[in-house]
Amino acid sequence: MSFIKSRFKVFLQLRRSFVLLGFFVLLSGLTPIAAKNATSDDKRRIGRVQATYLTHLINLTQWNKDHLPTPSQPPKIVILGDKENGFTESLEFLLEQSGIGIGGNKIEVLHFRNGDKIKANAALEIKPQIVFFLSSSNYDPKKMRELSKHSLFVGNGRKFITELKGDIAFNYSRNRVRLIISKLALTRRSPKLNSQISRLRSVVEIIP
C-alpha cells in the first residue's frame, strides 16, 4: 500500500510540474497588444488570452473542502463589469473543451454588468470560488471581499493588488503581459496558489 501511495505522490508531482511548465510556455509565448492602444479585435484577443490564463490558474489553485459548494451545486466563477470583449464566451468554451473543473465538478460562469449590483451581491453571498474583475468594472473589490472572503479575486493592473487587496492581476507592459500575485495567495490555506508559480520570475511578480 505504501508503494502505491508513493507512486501516486510522484504522479501528482509530475502532473503539477507539467501544468506549471505549460503555464510558463503560455505566459512566455503569448504577446497581447497593450490594452491602451488596442483595437476592437485586439481587445477580443486580450479577452481570449486572459480566459486562457485563468483556466491554467484554476489548475494551480487549491480550495479547502469547506470553501467548495455541496456536491449538488456547481463551483462558480463570477465576472464583474461591462465590455467583456468576448472574455466570458472564451472562458466558457475553454472550460467546456478542456474539462477543467474545481473539486472535480463542472464550473458555472456568471457575468454581471456594472448596473447589476443587487444580483452581483447575491451571487457573492453564495461564495463563488473565483471573482474576476474586468478592466471596466466599477465594483469595489474590498467591499466584495466582505461578502466572500474565500474567493480567488482576479483583476487588472498593479493597484488591484497593492491598493484593492486582490489576489492576482494582469499587468500589461511593452506589449507583454505579466501576472502580479499577492504573496498571501501563495501562503494562506485556501484558496491557495501552487507556490511553484513563484519560480517563473520572468513572467510573474510577487507582491508582499
| pTM of structure | 0.84
C-beta separation of 101 from 75 below 8 A: yes
Query: Are the C-beta atoms of 150 and 102 separated by less than 8 Å?
Result: no
* CATH of segment(s) 2-207: 3.40.50.2300
Which residue's entry shows cell 457575468? 111
Per-residue pLDDT tens, the chain, 208 aa: give them. Answer: 444 444 434 333 434 443 444 554 455 444 444 555 566 777 788 888 899 989 989 999 999 999 999 988 999 999 999 987 889 999 999 999 999 999 999 999 999 999 999 999 999 999 999 999 999 999 999 999 999 999 999 999 999 999 999 999 999 876 677 899 999 999 999 999 998 888 887 788 999 8
Strand order in the sheet with 204-207: 108-112, 76-80, 130-133, 152-156, 168-173, 176-182, 204-207
